């Protein structure tokens, strides 16, 4: 599933996300563009640099090169602002407080519960401790927390890795809805069927470089 960029006043819109010569000490250089509403799926062996690529795009790991959102250079954003718009959702999410509810502002609690419920989660989980969540519950709560920020680009690292087929389908349906609304998705997945369902373009990464799929 993919959506092409639109035309405005006879001019093509700039890519939603553009990488030019993005590189770090262990990976790159990477050149890549994603249009509004496009999903690009990345596969590759463990240690190939897939998570590192996402972290470099989010400016969480040292990197050089050019990155832009809707034609605006990353350097023109503050770091927190960039990471709100181009949001990294890791395979193992971070939880900095004991209680689940502490991870979003109280004013967003209702919206978070609604998103979590769409992913098959009991909203009551938001009132409990993080320690009692299963791996799959943590994964879906982290994804719903990320989507709550309404990012322009989601950098999703194995978002359904620990999930069963039913909950994987729920996640994919919500991601497809966001793609239809214009979000771009860079998806790291080991699931070739998932890559086929969500994306029309697939890339393979080996030893820190893109190679032919």
pLDDT tens for 180-199 read: 999 999 999 999 999 999 99
Domain count within the chain: 1
Residue 113 counted as domain residue = no
The pair of structure tokens assigned to 184 is 């771009």
d(CA 207, CA 145): 32
- Asked if the model's pLDDT at residue 42 lies above 90, the reply is yes
- Asked if the model's pLDDT at residue 12 lies above 80, the reply is no
Residue 14 counted as domain residue = yes
Residue 71 counted as domain residue = yes
Residue 74 counted as domain residue = yes
**Domain CATH code at residue 161:** 3.40.50.300
Task: Quote the pLDDT of residue 3.
Answer: 44
Range of the domain at 91: 7-97+150-211
Q: Which of 156, 8, 173 is nearest to 93 (CA)?
A: 156
Residue 105 counted as domain residue = no
- pLDDT average, residue stretch 150-159: 97
Residue 116 counted as domain residue = no
Residue 132 counted as domain residue = no
- Asked if the model's pLDDT at residue 9 lies above 60, the reply is no
The pair of structure tokens assigned to 60 is 């969480």
Task: Quote the pLDDT of residue 1.
Answer: 47
- Asked if the model's pLDDT at residue 202 lies above 90, the reply is yes
Residue 72 counted as domain residue = yes
| pLDDT, the chain, mean | 92
Look at the pTM and tell me if it is higher than 0.85: yes
- Asked if the model's pLDDT at residue 7 lies above 60, the reply is no
Q: Are 28 and 69 in contact (CB under 8 A)?
A: no
Q: Which of 66, 60, 109, 67 is nearest to 88 (CA)?
A: 60
Q: Are 22 and 67 in contact (CB under 8 A)?
A: yes
């Amino acid at each position: 599933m993919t959506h092409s960029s639109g035309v405005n006043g006879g001019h093509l819109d700039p890519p939603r996300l553009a990488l030019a010569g993005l590189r770090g000490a262990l990976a790159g250089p990477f050149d890549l563009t994603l249009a509004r509403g496009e999903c690009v799926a990345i596969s590759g062996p463990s240690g190939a640099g897939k998570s590192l690529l996402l972290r470099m795009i989010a400016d969480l790991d040292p990197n050089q090169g050019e990155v832009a959102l809707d034609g605006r250079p990353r350097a023109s954003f503050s770091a927190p602002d960039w990471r709100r718009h181009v949001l990294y959702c890791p395979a193992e999410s971070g939880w900095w407080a004991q209680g689940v509810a502490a991870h979003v502002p109280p004013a967003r609690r209702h919206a978070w519960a609604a998103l979590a419920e769409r992913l098959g989660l009991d909203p009551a989980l938001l009132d409990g401790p993080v320690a009692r969540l299963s791996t799959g519950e943590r994964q879906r709560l982290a994804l719903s927390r990320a989507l709550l920020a309404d990012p322009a680009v989601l950098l999703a690292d194995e978002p359904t890795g620990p999930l069963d087929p039913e909950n994987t389908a729920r996640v994919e349906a919500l991601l497809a809805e966001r793609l239809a609304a214009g979000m771009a998705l860079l998806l790291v997945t080991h699931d070739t069927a998932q890559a086929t369902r969500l994306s029309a373009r697939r890339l393979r990464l080996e030893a820190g470089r893109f190679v032919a799929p």
